[in-house]
Amino acid sequence: MNRSITGFHQDDDGDWVAEMSCFHNRHIRHQPPVKNAQWVLSEEGREAHIGAPIECPLCDRAELPEGLTQLGSAGPWDQDTLPSGLLNAHRTPEGRWGRLQVFDGAIDFQFEREEPETSPARRLEAGAVQPIPPGAPHRLIPAGPVRLELQFWGRRP
């Protein structure tokens, strides 16, 4: 899943780390001939890459970044009160992670990807939590009686 670079910092070893719009971090190393990222060695090069797209494997795996704060919630809902918009493909806004928590019963959760065969629905049962990356299209598929809540996570300004 592509994200935007929002800034850079150096780790304890002096390696450059890209800060991304999803709140994950990713090392950018210039190690020719395997990794050619000479631009990361200069301030001008790093500045030129602010806003550039970068692949985020942690978002691909729906791993909630550390250090986020719960900003709000919606629900709880059951199978009868679940908003119909959640049953169709929809997205969490950029800069906000979703966190679906199932209290009782079960529901199927599906990321909507370009290749439908690579995004099977995943059954979430009572006690399950599903992080949802910003901007990732997804939908819920009722699987019988359920009670769930949606939380929104991010960083306060």
Per-residue pLDDT of the chain (157 residues; tens, 9 = 90+): 899 999 999 999 999 999 999 999 999 987 767 777 889 999 999 999 999 999 999 999 999 999 999 999 999 999 999 999 999 999 999 899 999 999 999 999 999 876 655 568 899 999 999 999 999 999 999 889 999 999 999 998 7
Residues 99 and 140 in one domain: yes
Tokens 């995943």, located at residue: 122
Q: Which domain holds residue 42?
A: 2-60
User: How many domains does the chain fold into?
Assistant: 2
Residues 86 and 38 in one domain: no
Residues 81 and 39 in one domain: no
Residue 31 corresponds to which amino acid? Answer: Q
Residues 109 and 145 in one domain: yes
Residues 18 and 95 in one domain: no
- What CATH number does the domain containing 119 carry? 2.60.120.10
Give long-range contacts, CB 8 A cutoff, 24+ apart: 47-52: 49/5, 49/18, 50/5, 50/6, 50/7, 51/4, 51/5, 51/6, 52/4, 52/5
The model's pTM: 0.85
Q: Which of 42, 60, 78 is the last residue of a domain?
A: 60
Residues 52 and 92 in one domain: no
Residues 13 and 45 in one domain: yes
The C-alpha atoms of residue 37 and residue 34 are separated, in whole angstroms, by 10
Residues 8 and 55 in one domain: yes
The C-alpha atoms of residue 34 and residue 26 are separated, in whole angstroms, by 17
Residues 85 and 147 in one domain: yes
